[in-house]
Amino acid sequence: MTQTNIETAKKLGLNEAEFQKICDYLGRIPNFTELSIYSVMWSEHCSYKNSIIYLKKLPRKGSKLLVEAGEENAGLVDIGDGLACAFKIESHNHPSAIEPYQGAATGVGGIHRDIFTMGARPIAALNSLRFGNIELDHTKFLMKGVVKGIGNYGNAFGVPTVGGEVYFNNCYNQNILVNAMSVGIVNVGETVSACADGPGNPVFIVGSSTGKDGIHGATFASADLNENSAADLPAVQVGDPFQEKLLLEASLEAIRSGQIVGMQDMGAAGITCSTSEMSAKSKTGMRIQLEKVPTRQSNMQAWEILLSESQERMLIVAKKGGEDILLKIFSKWDLECVQIGEVTDTGRIEYFMNGKLEADVPADSLVLGGGAPIYQREFSRPSYFDEIEAFNPNSIHEPSDLIEVAKRLTASPNIASKKWIFEQYDKMVRIGTLTSVKQSDASVVRVPGTNKGLAMTVDCNSAYVFLDPYQGGMIAVSEAARNIICSGGVPVAITNCLNFGNPYNPEVYFQFVNALKGMGEACEAFGTPVTGGNVSFYNQSQFQDKTEPIYPTPTIGMLGVFDDLNDFMTIDFKNLGDHIVLLGHQNNHIGYSEYLSEIHKIKYAPVPYFNLNEEKKLHNTIHECIVKRIVKSAHDVSEGGIFISLLESSFASQLGFAVQIPAQFRKDVFLFGESQGRVIVTVSNEQLSQLESLCLQNGIDCLLLGNVAPSELIVNNSCFGTIAEFGQLYYESIQNSINE
């Protein structure tokens, strides 16, 4: 071992101990290609070396799960009638921060491939986006690129983008977040595993040719952004949605042919990852001839071919003897399908180039659960907690003009309509999206050929997680479940995208550990096990002497099911005179909210009131109200509080409201506070007593607020304005900011 070898390893992101571990596995000093292989496979992005200890503590078992977390490319849930749903969420943060259009587009393409490599047809997409200050030109540039990338790729691929969330905060000024989720349908028993069973079986690469785009993309995703990150632009892949559409159809047809043993998308670390993970899973090996890999550029070196993350590629292990069938299928779809190797029984991956052995490594030594390193990092209480504890609620004085407050909040970036964004997405393709016409707290899609439905949502208020990682983690899961429940669905499982700063920062790791603890407890309470997802560390920006981590953002992608779509519930008021009722615990708690942030400029305050047991009881009650047809509408109270929830129901129906604030509550806190575990429902006069009896029986607070009214918005007999007046603020604010 020489200092030169160690320095080379460090440049590739490996530390000295890891270099020694590689030498021990190989029984010799690795060459540059082998070092490059370990550098990508042992990166955080591929190995989860700094997070796997805590990921394993999340609930991973459930009666409806067909595979456990980490077993396959995506989670798989039984939805009845012989059908299963495959779903997953992943990040493409750093590529999107450097090259927003291609970064976001290839994020969408990659997550869809994870779904159809299992044999499922994607039927819906969602996304969770975080941007910086919307007034900055850089933020506008990134927003335009990301939204265009998501829209152009998804629309061309032909899968509707049915939902999502968008938040703005200064902590994302440089390091934006782009999390993409895909949901697909497959018949139970017709899925394909990412395995490499059967020594002697041929190994094929299919889809696009391999180029130099995306080389060391996994390493790039496992490092901080800084002033020189733009120089890593070649690490950003280039996508082709039309090629991916062909790959989808060809892959599903190939699976139906019965000639597929195993298949895996080539995402992070490209050929390296798919060959090693598939081999390790089956305890086999592979002999790969790299010169047979179709390339877009001449004279590519072995390590470049191995590490390229060029898009729209798959690795397939086929049944020996069925090669011609496979070749005909991919030829029909005008796609390259080339045998590049075969499965062996050695347990090693041998990469040859024109007869020369370029790398020879044990497959198991590369992967999570095998030889990849596992670390427990130090963590400590964040110092900014002192400022939270110093918050004095008595210092928050009630404004004299609540109408002006309501208008400012309605137009604020985190509350205003994201119409400018979602109108660039096609949510009507395949005509299965119920929420393309009617608004609901979750996105709802019909399962083709049935009266079953899927409810899906992505949720995380990262400010809550920043202020209290444990409570914030629970709230993220709870809000997702509440949205599913209010749509009429039943939550069944989650996928997650865990976006955090540098794990070597003890305060960041404290956020990570405690957020996962809160998430896990909430998942246990709601019976929603974790099916998989990804961890995205190193989301922080280093500029000059300042390092700023993002807010901890554990995005929750939750799936719910409808056995009967007649239970579908929307947020819109239905009839003039219907009673407006608030369900859930009522209090004068002054916790963090958009109201405190926007109006009082408060950054540090305790999280809003939250009680997990009360939340669970509320969900059960709402579900019972919906299936028994007691309520006419349901909408949860979240950012902006009760007033914004009422306002959104008014926008959806063009009917107004007349409500009264009980005397025991502060008016500003009652209208704009964000205490959790509350839902606003409407009910006819004939069924009001039934609702009240059910709430009394279940121990749920039930407060009559007022009634559905014509177009005016009335609070305590004062007219705050009209639907049209507030609609202009709500629907035009984001677009006006972008165009300034």
Query: Is 92 an annotated catalytic residue?
Result: yes
Taking the C-alpha atoms of residue 509 and residue 501, their distance in angstroms, rounded to an integer, is 8
* 674 touches 638 (CB < 8 A): yes
Catalytic residue chosen out of the listed positions 92, 112, 216, 585: 92
681-719 in b/e form (b: 16+ CB < 10 A) is: bbbbeebbeebbebbeeeebbbbbbbbbbeeebbbeeee
Contacts of 575 (CB under 8 A, 6+ apart): 632, 682, 684, 708
Look-up: residue for tokens 């977040």? Answer: 177
Nearest C-alpha neighbor of 695 from the set 616, 611, 618: 618
Beta-bridge partner residues of 341: 203, 288
Q: In what order do the strands lie in the sheet with 553-562?
A: 443-446, 453-459, 553-562, 490-499, 530-536
Look-up: residue for tokens 């928050």? Answer: 396
Across the chain, how many H-helices and E-strands are there? 25, 27
* 307 touches 215 (CB < 8 A): yes
Nearest C-alpha neighbor of 496 from the set 44, 79, 87: 87
Hey, what are 83's tokens?
Answer: 């059908």
Beta strand 490-499 with 530-536 is: parallel
Taking the C-alpha atoms of residue 308 and residue 95, their distance in angstroms, rounded to an integer, is 14
Taking the C-alpha atoms of residue 79 and residue 167, their distance in angstroms, rounded to an integer, is 32
Query: Is 216 an annotated catalytic residue?
Result: no
Q: In what order do the strands lie in the sheet with 313-318?
A: 260-265, 313-318, 202-207, 336-344, 285-289, 348-353, 356-362
**CA-based R_g, the chain, Å:** 26
DSSP per-residue letters across 617-683? HHHHHHHHHHHTT--SEEEE--TTHHHHHHHHHHHHHT-EEEE---TTS-HHHHHH---SS-EEEEE
Contacts of 183 (CB under 8 A, 6+ apart): 85, 86, 87, 115, 122, 123, 124, 125, 126, 445, 454, 456, 559
Catalytic residue chosen out of the listed positions 45, 94, 589, 623: 45
Taking the C-alpha atoms of residue 88 and residue 114, their distance in angstroms, rounded to an integer, is 8
Taking the C-alpha atoms of residue 660 and residue 398, their distance in angstroms, rounded to an integer, is 17
Annotated catalytic sites, by residue? Answer: 45, 92
